[in-house]
């Protein structure tokens, strides 16, 4: 039996959550879903900030909440390391005192551990600073440090990268991975961003309308039909998996095998035979009914139309194309759709302009 179990029913206002998930002690688990799906509620329930109606919550084999046995530990006894969307630092204290706030209340001071954590987080030089002078990235790293030093049994990160620019996001994501590797602590990473969760986690849990609708490894989750709509309002894309087959050092390109179809990308530094998750923006995929000649696009993939979804208000259509056993989406105008007389089961070629690798 897994040592972490989160199963509960809760109501906040008119929103009801019904969550059931388990995970082991060493993983980074990502919880994702559209905004308003109830992701952050999970964090608050685990921390004890929201009391469920019924349920059972166990972290590291310690029962935090059990409606049957009337157990409901207050937040300060739960030993949860929590990092919120905003750093929530204590502005009347220095960075160092912020870091030591939880530590002083949970354990004796361990200089070795303190040094190790500030080294991983890269905050050695800002220990004596006031918190209100920190940049967004620095403040969030201090917040992670404060949570880690409080001797937690689990680290929960609730959208910790929101509001940071992408170099800072990358830096913090790398730090989170390193923490998981070096400190042997399970991490619950809550995010609406597919890129973040694919980069960071081994197991993904999808939440919709307060319910767990899918959980599993990236490979298992990738086929979840609604995954491509998680960035709704932004840009639609599809995620497919493949294996690195070949590097071409002269052209600085890499060939990836997607269900025996070869896709050429920019050079990727990973080794041959490693798995990759590839993200294809729907706008970067064009469709042609014949193989074009003399064209700069490298990836001309033979596919079949599986489904056509017309989006009237934009004057566009999403054309779902099979790619081996997987599926990609092309976004074209209604004008092109009618010009090419596209219909379901028609054999077409997908012209893929840009390929981005988001994880493995």
Partner 1 sequence: MLNPIEIEALKLSGFIAIVAISVSIIPGIIIAWIISRKKGLLSSILNMIVYLPLVLPPVVIGYLLLLLFSHNGIIGNFLLEYFNISVNFSWKGAAIAAAVVSFPLLVRSIKLGFDTFDHKTEEAAYINGASKLDCFISITLPQILPSIITGITLAFARCLAEFGATITFVSNIPGETQTLPLALYTATQIPGTEESAIRLVIISIILAFVSVAIAEILAKRTNKRIIGNKY
Restricting to residues 161-190, which ones interact with partner 1 according to CB under 8 A? none
Under the criterion CB under 8 A, does residue 279 sit at the interface with partner 1? no
Under the criterion CB under 8 A, does residue 141 sit at the interface with partner 1? no
The Cα angle at residue 318 between residues 314 and 322, in degrees rounded to 5? 175
Alpha carbon distance 22, 1 (integer Å):
9
Under the criterion CB under 8 A, does residue 110 sit at the interface with partner 1? no
**Beta carbons within 10 angstroms of residue 243's beta carbon:** 15
Least Å from the CB of residue 143 to partner 1: 8
* Residue among 58, 78, 153, 192 that touches partner 1 (CB under 8 A): 78
Alpha carbon distance 15, 199 (integer Å):
30
* Beta pairing class for 237-248 and 275-281: antiparallel
Q: Quickly tell me which residue has 């004890």 as its tokens.
A: 48
Least Å from the CB of residue 237 to partner 1: 33
Region near partner 1 per CB under 8 A, out of 60-68, 109-117, 146-154, 312-320: 146-154
Region near partner 1 per CB under 8 A, out of 8-16, 88-96, 225-233, 311-319: 88-96
Under the criterion CB under 8 A, does residue 109 sit at the interface with partner 1? no
Under the criterion CB under 8 A, does residue 101 sit at the interface with partner 1? yes
**CB proximity list for 96: less than 8 A, separation 6 or greater:** 127, 128
Q: What is the DSSP string of 170-238?
A: HHHHHHHHHHHHHH---EEEE-S-HHHHHHH-SEEEEEETTEEEEEEEHHHHTT-TTGGGTTTTS--EE
* Residue among 12, 47, 66, 127 that touches partner 1 (CB under 8 A): 47
Under the criterion CB under 8 A, does residue 80 sit at the interface with partner 1? yes
**Beta carbons within 10 angstroms of residue 54's beta carbon:** 12
User: 305 with 342: CB under 8 angstroms?
Assistant: yes
Alpha carbon distance 83, 102 (integer Å):
13
Least Å from the CB of residue 82 to partner 1: 5
Of 77 and 272, nearer to partner 1 (C-beta) is: 77
Under the criterion CB under 8 A, does residue 90 sit at the interface with partner 1? yes
Under the criterion CB under 8 A, does residue 304 sit at the interface with partner 1? no
Least Å from the CB of residue 103 to partner 1: 9
* N-term to C-term CA, the chain: 28
Least Å from the CB of residue 75 to partner 1: 4
Residues in touch with partner 1 (CB under 8 A): 47-49, 74-82, 84, 86, 88-92, 101-102, 105-106, 130, 132-133, 146-147, 150
């Amino acid at each position: 039996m897994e040592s972490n179990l989160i199963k509960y029913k809760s109501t906040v206002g008119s929103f009801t959550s019904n969550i059931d998930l388990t995970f082991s002690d060493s993983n980074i688990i990502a919880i994702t879903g559209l905004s308003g799906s109830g992701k952050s509620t999970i964090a608050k329930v685990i921390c004890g900030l929201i009391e469920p109606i019924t349920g059972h919550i166990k972290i590291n084999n310690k029962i935090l909440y059990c409606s049957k046995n009337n157990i409901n530990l207050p937040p300060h006894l739960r030993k949860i390391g929590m990092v919120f969307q905003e750093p929530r630092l204590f502005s009347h204290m220095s960075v160092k005192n912020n870091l030591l706030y939880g530590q002083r209340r949970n354990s004796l001071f361990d200089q070795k551990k303190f040094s190790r954590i500030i080294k991983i987080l890269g905050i050695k030089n800002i220990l004596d600073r006031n918190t209100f002078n920190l940049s967004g990235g620095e403040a969030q790293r201090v917040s992670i440090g404060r949570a880690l030093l409080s001797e937690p049994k689990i680290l929960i990160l609730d959208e910790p990268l929101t509001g940071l620019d992408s170099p800072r996001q990358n830096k913090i994501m790398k730090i989170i991975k390193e923490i998981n590797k070096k400190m042997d602590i399970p991490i619950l990473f809550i995010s609406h961003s597919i890129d973040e969760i694919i980069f960071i986690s081994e197991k993904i849990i999808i939440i919709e309308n307060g319910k767990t609708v899918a959980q599993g490894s990236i490979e298992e989750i990738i086929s979840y039909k609604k995954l491509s709509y998680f960035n709704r309002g932004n840009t639609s894309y599809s995620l497919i998996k493949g294996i690195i087959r070949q590097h071409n050092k002269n052209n600085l390109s890499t060939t990836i095998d997607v269900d025996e179809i070869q896709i050429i990308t920019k050079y990727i530094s990973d080794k041959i035979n490693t798995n990759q998750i590839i993200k294809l923006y729907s706008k970067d995929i064009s469709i042609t009914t014949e193989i074009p000649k003399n064209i700069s696009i490298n990836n001309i993939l033979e596919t079949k139309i599986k489904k056509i979804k017309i989006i009237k208000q934009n004057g566009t259509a999403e054309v779902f194309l099979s790619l081996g056993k997987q599926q990609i989406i092309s976004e074209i105008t209604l004008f092109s759709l009618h010009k090419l007389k596209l219909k379901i089961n028609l054999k077409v070629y997908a012209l893929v302009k840009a390929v981005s690798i988001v994880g493995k």
